[in-house]
């Protein structure tokens, strides 16, 4: 993937939310299909299980966790030790740090195989992520809806985005403290999707949950 080119000079779309801020780059990666295929074939995807009301259920997506040594990750009873950065992920991290203006030390990869795979409502607001964490979300493959809702002001309209292949969404300011987001299921035919969310963990035994 040495020819991978990041279009980080492309003008972004800014979404100024009440109590939050988003920056969306519709086509940040120049060759999304090649990067998608590379990650799909080389990442050791894992199927995890979660316990709900005393019953075990498969997580509705496949995952992988990469990061600096010691950047462990645990959510819903699932412990994930970081795998070492691959050359491709390390290049993406460096490029994203340049765009976002903050350091990242870990990335969660989610593989949505079909429309039944999803991510429920949540915020990336754990203390381990520090005050006003910046989350950089890179999408590859099939387009999926990405919905945000305010935690304490239900009267505010939801923000409903469609994250295209090769797009970059940066969630900044106090977004994680005041807004939740999800990737809902869909009955429409959709192509497989890979999402990478880069963040910085400030403590080495985090309890995190993100898209």
pLDDT at residue 40 is higher than 90:
yes
Binding-site residue positions for 2-oxoglutarate: 110, 112, 122, 181, 193, 197, 199
Give the Cα separation of 169 and 162 in Å (integer). Answer: 11
Return the pLDDT at 208. Answer: 43
Evaluate if pTM is beyond 0.85.
yes
Binding-site residue positions for substrate: 73-75, 125
Judge whether 193 and 167 are in contact, CB under 8 Å. Answer: no
pLDDT at residue 6 is higher than 70:
no
Q: Where are the domains of the chain?
A: 15-43+59-199
Count the Cβ atoms, other than its own, within 10 Å of residue 166. Answer: 22
Binding-site residue positions: 73-75, 110, 112, 122, 125, 181, 193, 197, 199
Return the pLDDT at 211. Answer: 53
Sheet holding 106-112, edge to edge: 13-17, 20-25, 168-172, 135-141, 193-199, 106-112, 62-67
pLDDT at residue 94 is higher than 90:
yes
pLDDT at residue 158 is higher than 90:
yes
**Locus of tokens 């295209």:** 164
- DSSP string of 20-34, one letter each residue: EEEEEETT-BS-HHH
Say which CATH class 15-43+59-199 falls into.
mainly beta
């Amino acid at each position: 993937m040495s020819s991978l080119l990041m279009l980080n000079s492309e003008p972004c779309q800014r979404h100024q939310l009440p109590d939050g801020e988003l920056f969306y780059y519709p086509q940040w990666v120049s060759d999304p299909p090649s990067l998608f295929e590379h990650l799909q074939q080389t990442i050791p995807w894992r199927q995890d299980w979660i316990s709900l009301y005393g019953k075990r259920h498969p997580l509705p997506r496949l995952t992988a966790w990469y990061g600096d040594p010691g950047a462990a990750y645990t959510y819903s009873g699932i412990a994930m030790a970081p795998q070492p950065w691959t050359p491709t992920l390390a290049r993406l991290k460096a490029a994203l740090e340049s765009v976002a203006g903050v350091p990242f030390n870990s990335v969660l990869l989610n593989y949505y195989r079909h429309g039944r795979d999803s991510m429920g409502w949540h915020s990336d607001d754990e203390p381990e992520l520090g005050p006003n964490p910046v989350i950089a979300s890179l999408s590859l493959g099939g387009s999926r809806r990405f919905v945000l809702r305010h935690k304490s002001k239900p009267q505010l309209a939801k923000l409903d985005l469609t994250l295209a292949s090769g797009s970059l969404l940066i969630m900044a300011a106090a977004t994680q403290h005041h807004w939740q987001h999800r990737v809902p299921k869909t009955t429409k035919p959709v192509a497989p999707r890979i999402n990478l969310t880069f963040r910085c963990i400030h403590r080495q035994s985090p309890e995190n949950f993100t898209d």
